[in-house]
Structure 1
Amino acid sequence: MIRILGIDPGSRVTGFGIIDSDGINAVHVAHGTLRLKGKELPPRLGQIFAEISEVIESYRPEVMAVEQVFVSKNPSSALKLGHARGAAICAGVSRGLAVAEYTPRSIKKAVVGTGSAEKEQVQHMVKLILKLAENPQEDAADALAVALSHANTNTTLGRLAAGRTR
């Protein structure tokens, strides 16, 4: 079993999700959202770093998977999202975690089966896959989807590598 921390970064709300995966089955460990306070960006980035650090200390994941920045219509929003990603990644790296990055499209494809899935579809599939009683909040569901995407990708890469060594 490997413990994976998934991160859905945001400058106002950052989602996190933790799963254990043996490469075939995934088990829900925890999920939640960081509601970032204040108007100024630097203190919010500090809060992301501190709170993700606490999550890492509490749950001891072995790897972190983070959603990549997508370029939206608003370059300012994309920059803020990039800063939020950086704060989360720094928290992971400073605690010795390897960090994997996935595009929003590849995450949706891994969890739902199509890269153009809607948020509600991601929430529903995360609920089903992890056998949760109810749909997780959007940002937490996205973070769990990032972790599931890493579990799927890691398993596939492991199988490919094993096939090459035979």
Structure 2
Amino acid sequence: MKVLGIDPGLRNMGWGVIEVDGPRIRHVANGTIHSDGAQDLGARLSVLFRGLCAVIATHAPDEAAVEQTFVNKDATGTLKLGQARGVALLAPAEAGISVGEYAPNAVKKTVVGVGHAAKEQVQHMVRIQLPGVIFDSPDAADALAIAICHSRHLQGRTLRVATPKRGAA
């Protein structure tokens, strides 16, 4: 199974694809879709959408995951990030791919073991779990962490479904 992780951003949208085989994961690809800050918002969102659709067409993921938006001090920035996040949800949904959503702390806790880990710690653990990976950008590294988080949650769900309950015959 292939999992696409997406780190939404209006200027830089990170993406990462991993392949999951039971408990094993393998890096497939990662990158960053860039939009031009000089363009109007609609044009920037279109660039992000078309770029993400191209990634989906190239790598044909089975599942996708997007990081939830955090609220920062700048309300306008938060709203714009939310619109980029909308694109990150829309592109896989349009391709018929189910999309998981994870809070930043849930991604960090799954990948590092600590919900308030620093970016460097997250990148270090992604490198350990995906040996030889070279990040296109910090946003792509975050996207790979989101993909890893989603794969681990999917594995947990599969184990719970596959494990018979006690007393069941």
| Coarse TM-score class (shorter-chain normalised) | over 0.9
User: For the structure 1 residues 54 and 125, does the alpha-carbon distance in structure 2 shift closer, same or farther, using more than 3 Å as the test?
Assistant: same
Query: How do 1:117-128 residues align onto structure 2 when only pairs under 5 Å count?
Result: 117-128=117-128
Give secondary structure in 1 for the equivalent of 2:163.
helix
CA contact (8 A) 1:23 1:151 kept: no
| Uncovered stretches (5+) of structure 2, i.e. residues with no partner | none
Matched position secondary structure for 1:18: strand
Equivalence for 2:51: 51
CA contact 1:23–1:154 (8 Å) conserved in 2: no
TM-score (norm 2): 0.93
When residues 97 and 8 of structure 1 are mapped into structure 2, their CA distance, relative to the original with a 3 A threshold, is same
Give yes or no for contact 1:17–1:140 (8 Å, CA) kept in 2: yes
* Within-5 A mapping of 1:48-87: 48-87=48-87
Per-residue deviation, 1:82: 0.8
Q: Which residue does the alignment assign to 1:27?
A: 26
Q: Which one-letter code corresponds to 1:74 in the other structure?
A: D
Residue pairs, 1:81-160, within 5 angstroms:
81-134=81-134, 137-160=137-160
TM-score, L = length of structure 1:
0.94
Instruction: Tell me the secondary structure at the aligned position of residue 146 of structure 1.
Output: helix
What is the Cα deviation at residue 88 of structure 1? 1.8
Letter of the structure 2 residue corresponding to residue 66 of structure 1: V
Percent identical residues: 44
Q: How far does residue 164 in structure 1 lie from its aligned partner after superposition?
A: 4.5
Q: 3-state DSSP class of the match of 1:151?
A: helix
Aligned length: 165
How far the C-alpha of 1:134 sits from its partner, in A, is: 4.3
Please, which moves more after superposition, 134-143 or 14-23?
134-143
Secondary structure of the structure 2 residue equivalent to 1:159: helix
Runs of 4+ in 1 over 3 A off after TM superposition: 133-136
Tell me the SS of whatever aligns to 1:142: helix
- Structure of greater Rg: 2
The answer to whether the aligner puts 1:16 opposite 2:15 as a matched pair is: yes
CA contact (8 A) 2:19 2:28 kept: yes
Query: CA separation of 1:103/1:120 partners in 2, compared to 1, >3 Å: closer, same or farther?
Result: same
Shift of 1:151: 0.5
- The answer on whether the counterparts of 1:20 and 1:27 sit within 8 Å (CA) in structure 2 is yes
> Retained in 2: the 8 A contact 1:5–1:17?
yes
Structure 2 counterpart of 1:7: 6
CA RMSD of aligned residues (A): 1.4
